[in-house]
Amino acid sequence: MSDDHVYMTLAEGHEDDTRWAYGTGFEDPLHGVDTAVPDDVDAGELASLCVTLADDALVCAQRLAEWTTRAPELEEEVALANIGLDLLGQARLLYSRAGQADGTGRDEDAFAYFRDAGDFRNVRLAELPNGDFAFSIVRLLVLASWRLAHFERLTAHRDPVLAAIAAKGVKELTYHRQYAAEWAVRLGDGTEESHGRMRRAQEQVAPYLGELFTAYDVRDEVVTVLRQVTEAAGLPMPVYRPLPGSGRTGEHTEHLAPLLAELQGVARAHPEGTW
């Protein structure tokens, strides 16, 4: 199966083929949406959900930003940067909604820059160092597939704001998944070296897959996508043995704190600064 065929198959059901989601439209996804938390929605649970999804996106975006000037080709550098910007945009909207829902009125900066590592609730796979390009592609494929499946469900959420954020995110995440799938096939079905690196990347990612399937019932959808791509790439499906602990409860690897130190340094040095 060619990577083009994988791309077309994964795109089924998403006829709006927006390959550059961040740069193609700047409409406010919340325009005209009632921002009051519905009476039948638990505000605390809504805020918690928004924070976890925003933390995933923010940490992923920071890792993708590290590929700037380091990607194999200029085109891939631009692509990864745009994917990171999509995720950053999702994080901003979700943090803002969390601050509205929990009654604190905290803005996106308060969530992103002024919480310590133990306060973050992102999955641990997002915070691992980039490694080589193969590892970043495998991680992006897994996280984009998982996040897309979850966002598709959230488009029907009872909170209209979260539903609108999810609807915007579905278009973006569809491209993220397709981009990663194309590269996974290209590398897996490429040279002996690229195939070997993809195998190693799968082994490195595998222990963190279990954490993705504990909170949301999207396992079957994600596994179906991963199986489709790995078969096209001539790669085996990874066998995962979940690691203990979870980023969702604040249990992180040693890699998150240094990542946040770099992300938050300027804001913490100038807490009253505006730009």
HSE, side-chain direction, 13 A CA sphere, residue 212: 27
CA-CA distance, 204 to 206, in Å (whole number)?
A: 6
Asked if 200 and 134 count as a contact pair (C-beta separation under 8 A), the reply is yes
CA dist., res. 113 & res. 53, Å (int) = 16
Task: Give phi and psi for 37, each to the nearest 5.
Answer: -70, 125
pLDDT of residue 161: 97
Burial of 208-240, coded b for 16+ CB within 10 Å and e otherwise, reads bbebbbeeeebeebbeebbebbbebbebeebeb
| Tokens, residue 108 | 């996106």
Question: Which whole-number Å values give the CA distances from 210 to 71, 203, 230, 245, in the listed order?
Answer: 29, 13, 18, 10
SS3 260: helix
Looking at domain 3-20+40-269, its CATH class is: mainly alpha
Q: What is the pLDDT of residue 204?
A: 95
Are 41 and 154 in contact, with CB atoms under 8 Å apart? Answer: no
Element (H, E) at 63: helix 43-65
- List the chain residues with pLDDT less than 50: 1, 7-8, 17-24
- Specify burial of residue 146 (Cβ count, 10 A radius: 0-12, 13-18, 19+): buried
Residues 6+ apart with CB under 8 A from 159: 37, 38, 41, 46, 97, 101
What are the boundaries of each domain within the chain?
3-20+40-269
With helix as H, strand as E and coil as C, how does 143-209 read?
Answer: HHHHHHHHHHHHCCCCCHHHHHHHHHHHHHHHHHHHHHHHHHHHHHCCCHHHHHHHHHHHHHHHHHH
How far, in Å, CA of 235 to CA of 275, rounded?
47
